[in-house]
Amino acid sequence: MCIPVKIYVLSTCPACNELKKLLEDNAIAYEALTLDLLTAEDKARTMMELKELSRLAIFPTIVIGDKVITGYRKQKILRTFRKNSGVSLVEKYTRIFKYRKPR
């Protein structure tokens, strides 16, 4: 089951870069909106969208399905993803590496 994951980030934000690395390391597909790289019009629209989600513009903000998490909180992000996807990341990787031949 593929749940939608959307992140709001800044290109210069260390926590935002950590969030992207966490998602990539765990093979979680996501859509990223990098606010400081958007046009003025898109930036204004995205900021309004972000404020509707969390009232404050906190970076990073991640939306997993219908859950919103502000800030880089690794355990909460992974727990929310597992809970909403129905498949634990450990199970997922166990299945992937189970059939891999050892070197």
Per-residue pLDDT reduced to its tens digit, 30-48? 999 999 999 999 999 999 9
Range in 15-29, 33-47, 85-99 with the lowest mean pLDDT: 85-99
Q: Centre a 10 Å sphere on the Cβ of residue 80 and count the other Cβ atoms it contains.
A: 19
Share of the chain above pLDDT 70, in %: 82
User: What pLDDT score does 8 carry?
Assistant: 97
Question: Mean pLDDT, to the nearest integer, of 70-93?
Answer: 79
Q: Into how many domains does the chain fold?
A: 1
- Residue 33, domain extent: 5-98
- Residue 58 makes CB contacts below 8 A (sequence gap 6+) with 70, 71
Q: State the pTM of this model.
A: 0.79
CATH code for the domain in which residue 92 is found:
3.40.30.10
Q: Is residue 103 part of a domain?
A: no
Q: How far is CA 27 from CA 9, 20, 49, 58, 96, in A?
A: 19, 11, 26, 24, 12
